[in-house]
Amino acid sequence: MAFTVDKMRVSAFFLLVLVNLQSSALSAPQVPCFFIFGDSLVDSGNNNDLPTLAKVNYPPYGIDFPKGRPTGRFTNGGTTADFLGELLGFDNYIPPFATAQGNEIIRGVNYASGSAGIRDETGELLGVRINLNNQLKNHNVTISRIAGLLGSGTSEHLNKCLYYFVVGSNDYINNYFVPEYYPTSSMYTPEQYATVLVQQYSQHLKGHRISINEQLLHHNVTVSRIARLLGNTPSRKEHLCKCLYYFVVGSNDYINNYFKPEYYSTSKKYNTKEYAAVLTREYSQQLKKLYSFGARKVAVNGLSGVGCLPEELARGTNGSLCVDALNDAVVLFNHKLQALVQSLNNHLPDAQFVYVPALELSEHIPVPGIKFLVKPCCEVSSTTGLCIRGKAPCPDRSLHLFFDNFHPTSAAYKAAAAAAYAEIVELIQ
């Protein structure tokens, strides 16, 4: 697994949360804008109106969110992106691209989409989603809109923003490990697939479900809006280079692709090593695409052990704590992703990419008080693994690591945000 901490580090994380939440209320945000890309781990409502099984705009989701109403977030309260936004000093939550409007896009947009992956086909079995490529296109639209607002200051503004990517799990869960529907596992070994993913990710950073490519399309829309708001190209670039970009993607490329051989052919095409190579190649292209838009400060989240998800544990572990085959595949991807981040920093002028280790989903979880590591808080559907609509969840969500069979509780997300903040602080100093 990618992330372990001892008790002293746990205490440090939560002290960091308290100190920064208090200080953020008294000062301006540490970055002028925060852009979020990824999957259901950070989706804040972009899937609500899409024809897909991957949406949660119903109770009990959102029970601990302000006003206690569902927003489309796949948990009981806030996500890692929400808490990270608080730590960065933002007064309000970053709006989803689906509803973002007016001047609010200057401070950031969330493009994430449940079931999205690095690969375009990831998650298609569940319905429409916005893949990473289209998320980047949406960001370009945002940039144009910001330019219209800020004019000549757009470029300086965006260079100061933070970009956060949480993506990749679906490229395994809903692609590589679903060989009956996707060919990737027959095309690539795990190492090759990890390389392919990172390479595609790299291109994305250079320049329906909502796949990562589609999320990039959405960001392209955002960029256009920013351009209209800020004015000419120099102003737009000045704004974007200061923004923070956050990517959380990749889990679905395994959960809803590679490890579903009955729907996807990827596990027939690749072994796990080859598939990791495939994913990293695609990711590389995506990240380079984002860079071409003006992004300079980019945080890229690693993948948690998908073999420790309640949904996967229900299929059997052969005596292990988690499903080792799934976790081993993800480790290959994480190693390649770290190498990609270093390569991007070495070869792209002024680039500031940071790898954020994933939260460990095991007994080492840095969340005090967690008692139930594998039992979800809500009653889940036997077909989707999501909470059953209208069913009351467990009374004390703070005791559970997972809210449903795939997504952590808000308590776990808060710990993940503290850990992520510790990694990206160098981008905002």
- Give catalytic residue positions: 40, 404, 407
- 172 Rama sector, left if φ>0, alpha if ψ -120 to 50, beta otherwise: alpha
Q: Report yes or no: 40 and 114 within 8 Å, Cβ to Cβ.
A: yes
Q: How far apart are the first and last CA of the chain?
A: 29
Give the closest residue to 129 by CA, choosing from 62, 174, 76, 79: 174
For residues 159 and 155, what is the distance between their CA atoms, to the nearest angstrom? 6
Give 359's contacts (C-beta < 8 A, 6+ positions apart).
3, 304, 365, 366, 408, 412, 415, 416, 419
Residue with tokens 């981008």, as numbered in its chain = 427
Rounded-to-integer distance, Cα 331 and Cα 405, Å: 21
Beta strand pairing call for 129-131 and 209-211? parallel
Cis, peptide link before residue 408, omega less than 30° from 0: no
